[in-house]
Amino acid sequence: MRLGLDEAGVTELLAAAEHAHALAVVAAALLLDGLGSKGGLVELVDPLKARDEVAGTLADIEALARNALGVEVVPAVWRALAGNPFYLDATWQKERVLMADGRLTALDKRRVGLAVAMNARVRYWIEYHAAVLRHAGGTDADLLEILGVVDHYNSLNLITTAMQIESDIRPPAGH
């Protein structure tokens, strides 16, 4: 780690990566095949017919989706999780807290999310994160730049892991 970030910044980065990875597993497990998915493993809860326990959260998600994605619908992954109100609430709270501006900007975290989704090869979240970035003005060149880093670090990770190369990158003195 050699980012010039403080400990909270590094934790934010790893939190965004961990969260994006966890949600990539979730979308794949739910058999959601893309941002426009109509469902898969479980029924997608209709926000208009939702029980009271999840209606508020789904309305909150819809407002954020309108801002971030420019769409008027609740994304499928959240509608699927709404079948379990506790699961939906806890996961959505985590998304709101971790993906907001902090030491890292929300957009930088979104780029990290896209990179992790690409790395996990999960179409649903690749489309989701890319849609957020495009809505904020991101271009094909931006997406290719992110993919390039993902690609290059897959190469370097494989070679260093396979050859069991010990890390010689040390934190700065005093850490």
Partner 1 sequence: MTTIRLLDPAEATGRAQAIFEAVLLRERKVFGATAVSNVWRCMAHVPEYLEANWNRSRALMQRGRFTPLQRELIAVAVSAANRCHY
Contact footprint for partner 1 (CB under 8 A): 1-4, 13-14, 16-18, 20-21, 104, 108, 111-112, 115-116, 119-120, 141-142, 145-146, 148-157, 159-169, 172
- The CA distance from 24 to 21, in Å, is 5
Q: Least distance from C-beta 47 to partner 1, angstroms?
A: 31
Question: Taking the complex as a whole, how short is the minimal distance between the CB of residue 98 and partner 1, in angstroms?
Answer: 13
- Comparison of 74 and 143: residue with beta carbon closer to partner 1: 143
CB 129 within 8 A of CB 117: yes
Instruction: Output the smallest distance, CB 14 to partner 1, in A.
Output: 6
Contact 37, 27 (CB under 8 A): no
Of the two residues 46 and 101, which places its CB atom closer to partner 1 in the complex?
A: 101
Q: Of 53 and 151, which has the nearer Cβ to partner 1? A: 151
Closest separation between CB of residue 117 and partner 1, Å?
10
Which residues neighbour 118 within 8 Å (Cβ) at sequence distance 6 or greater?
126, 146, 147, 150
The DSSP-derived string for 31-95 is T--STT---SSSPPPPGGG--HHHHHHHHHHHHHHHHHH--SS--HHHHHHTTSHHHHHHHHHHH
Output phi, psi for 107, to 5 deg. Answer: -70, -40
Between 48 and 169, CB nearer to partner 1: 169
The distance of closest approach from Cβ of residue 112 to partner 1 in the complex, given in angstroms and rounded to an integer, is 5
Considering beta carbons, is residue 103 or 135 the nearer one to partner 1? Answer: 103
